Structure 1
Amino acid sequence: MSDNRQQRIDTLKEAARRKSAEKTQAAEAAIRRLIKSGEQVTFQAVQREAGVSQNFLYKNPELRARIEHRRATHRPAPRPIPEQGDSNIVAALTGEVARLKKRHHQEVTELRKALEEAHGENLALRRELERRGGR
């Protein structure tokens, strides 16, 4: 391999490493901001906040573990229910139910996306195994 070609390869590898490090830093900062603001830390929220792809977050073992841990342990503070009568209680509970439904929908959507990605990775690995003469 020529020195010039190896130099280009090394330059590209270094650029990819820097880009990955920058994305990792952006994701870590996003996680800290979400925690500080009291928002739930999810793949979708970190992706939106950091401007990185969910695929990047899922493929980075440290970020993935951190997000999954935060998502599993996050418990929003209960909202106080006003004591001013039945209509206020009903309104507060209705709002809480709507919030929980929205959160549930977001989590199901994230899980479906993660499952789709896992199925895709599984299929790619099976194809690679078959290509290499496995099975």
Structure 2
Amino acid sequence: MTDQRQRRIDTLSQAARRKSEAKTKAAETAIRSLIKRGKPITFQAVQREAGVSHSFLYTHPTLRDRIEQLRQQNQAAPPPPSDAASENNIALALTTEIARLKKRLRDQDKELREALAQAHGENLELRREIARRGGSVPPAPTSIIGPC
């Protein structure tokens, strides 16, 4: 193998390892958050909270064992905390959910703007090609989102 190829392999391996570590950390943070809020610990709840896939949780032995153990403990869990603590937990949960939804909205907005810019570029290319061929070009549509 060439040195350059080995460096590429090492770089990709390191990136995959970092990605896996980040997902593991997100899952562990989600588990702690669910416990703190008194929510049931399930694969689906952890998956939603951490933003990781079910298959990641099921194929990660440490996380899988921990989730299964906590899920069993939740079945015999003590009653929820007092009203004051519950109100604080609800406020924390809502604040966290709002932050997560805002981030998701920003990400989706960015993706849509990029897709719109790409489609706009493709539209311009097609219009230029039609004009080069001597065809009639209809007026460009106006954007409802605004300038990119």
Structure 2: runs of 5 or more not aligned: 81-148
CA distance in 1, matches of 2:73, 2:16: 33
Task: Describe the superposition over 1:7-54 as per-residue Cα deviations: whole angstroms up to 9, x where unpaired.
Answer: 000000000000000000000000000000000000000000000001
Quick one: percent identity of the two aligned structures? Answer: 63
CA distance in 2, matches of 1:38, 1:60: 24
**Residue in structure 1 matched with residue 56 of structure 2 by the alignment:** 56
TM-score, normalised with respect to structure 2 = 0.51
**Residue in structure 1 matched with residue 7 of structure 2 by the alignment:** 7
Amino acid in structure 1 at the alignment position of 2:39:
E
**Residue in structure 1 matched with residue 31 of structure 2 by the alignment:** 31
Amino acid in structure 2 at the alignment position of 1:59:
T
Once the two structures are TM-superposed, the CA of residue 73 in structure 1 deviates from its matched residue by 1.0
Task: Describe the superposition over 1:38-95 as per-residue Cα deviations: whole angstroms up to 9, x where unpaired.
Answer: 000000000000000010000000000000000011035458xxxxxxxxxxxxxxxx
CA distance in 2, matches of 1:66, 1:3: 41
CA distance in 2, matches of 1:37, 1:18: 28
SS at match of 1:27: helix
**Residue in structure 2 matched with residue 41 of structure 1 by the alignment:** 41
Paired residues for 1:59-70 under 5 Å: 59-70=59-70
Q: How many residues align?
A: 79
Indicate whether 1:71 and 2:71 are aligned: yes
Structure 1: runs of 5 or more not aligned: 80-135
TM-score, normalised with respect to structure 1 = 0.56
Task: Describe the superposition over 1:79-114 as per-residue Cα deviations: whole angstroms up to 9, x where unpaired.
Answer: 8xxxxxxxxxxxxxxxxxxxxxxxxxxxxxxxxxxx
Q: Give 1 or 2 for the bigger CA radius of gyration.
A: 2
Cα RMSD for the two superposed structures: 1.3
